[in-house]
Amino acid sequence: MDTVAVARSLAPLLRERADEIEAARRLPADLARRFAADGLCRLLVPEAYGGLEVPPAQMLATVEALAEADGSAAWCVFIYATSGSLLAYLPPDEARAVFSSAETILAGVFAPQGEATVEGDGYRVNGRWAWGSGTQNADWILGGCRIEGEPIPRLLLAPAADIEFLDTWNVSGLCGTGSTDFAMENVFIPRTRAASLSVDRSVERPLYQFPNFALLALGIAGVAMGLARASITELVGLAGAKTPQGSARPLANRPHSQSEVAQAEAELRSARAFLFEAVEAAWHAASTRGRIPLDEKRDVRLATTWATRASAQTVDRMYHLGGGSAVHRASRLQRVFRDVHVATQHMMVSPSTYELTGRLLLGLETDTTFL
């Protein structure tokens, strides 16, 4: 299935509804269901359970294409996609029961922000999770938990009816992601809907050799790169028509503009090429060797953070070139600027990634838990 083409076909609709998405502070339910019907919420769900199980590079390009039209919508799609990968870690019968329809949506937070105690054949869960992107449209919600008496955190999956959604998402950018806090209070979850990403993988396919943290980071980079491409497109459209105050020449005819656009184009495309090269190398290793060596994992994380940061720099160049025109809500540059600078705040693409990958490049002993 050509999910990139599907994403591009949705672009006019997303641009048309961008203001609505932002004002609602969440993805409208009908758009979430449209994404599910079009297959975009099952990008990383195993084929054995009715998913698409696409290569990571295809997931990345799909998210990127959506983000050119609307960053919040793209963000929700990659959350749905990465959350769906949890099914590869559940017992097969449970995974099929959860993914009972091709339009089932999973969302949630991998970080172990909840607490659980063992109770019979399951867990009693309490906790509150931040950054619950897209959760209000999901059928199933996952939350990372520390388990009393167990050394390894687990992801626990609960039906949406057991979740309390909290109205906490009042932010500067990616407003339409609905990344509100959510809570579970005294919720029982059977052991069959709990999984450790380090020990419980039940589907041995190349896609699931990719660390979940890497897949999550790839989604962030896809959003950032799509936003960066949108900023260049927006500025180029503006430059031919705008004559800056105090100048006799249109913006496009000014040497500084020409230099900035050229550097932005080179910066974005260089970072994008590095990322796709690293992802394809890791995919080749997973497909031919059944595992991804540490060096390839390192390169994927380094390239992902670099692509996200380079995308933000590209947006900054275009925003500043846009001058006063860029601050008005009628200009898409202001929204892209706000959106990309929320994406850069995610821990998966934080500057600490450079320290982690730099230690590996230098041959130093390194904790690779979050690689």
Predicted TM-score (pTM) of this structure: 0.97
Q: In the chain, what's the furthest Cα-to-Cα distance?
A: 77
Question: Would you state the pLDDT for residue 250?
Answer: 82
pLDDT, position 370: 81
Nearest-angstrom CA–CA distance, 329 and 18: 11
Name the nearest CA neighbour of 41 among 90, 89, 104.
Answer: 104
Q: Where are the alpha helices (DSSP H) in 191-240?
A: 212-239
Token duo for residue 321: 């070139």
Q: Is residue 89 within 8 Å of residue 196, measured between CB atoms?
A: yes
Distance CA 368, CA 371 (A): 5
Q: What is the pLDDT of residue 68?
A: 98
* pLDDT computed for residue 199 by the predictor: 86
d(CA 53, CA 71): 23
What averages of pLDDT result for each successive group of 10 residues across the chain (371 residues)?
98 98 98 98 98 98 98 98 97 97 97 97 98 98 96 96 97 98 98 92 95 96 98 92 63 91 98 98 97 97 98 98 90 96 96 96 92 87
In angstroms, the CA 343 to CA 175 distance is 11
Domains in the chain, ordered, with CATH?
3-89 (1.10.540.10), 107-195 (2.40.110.10), 210-361 (1.20.140.10)
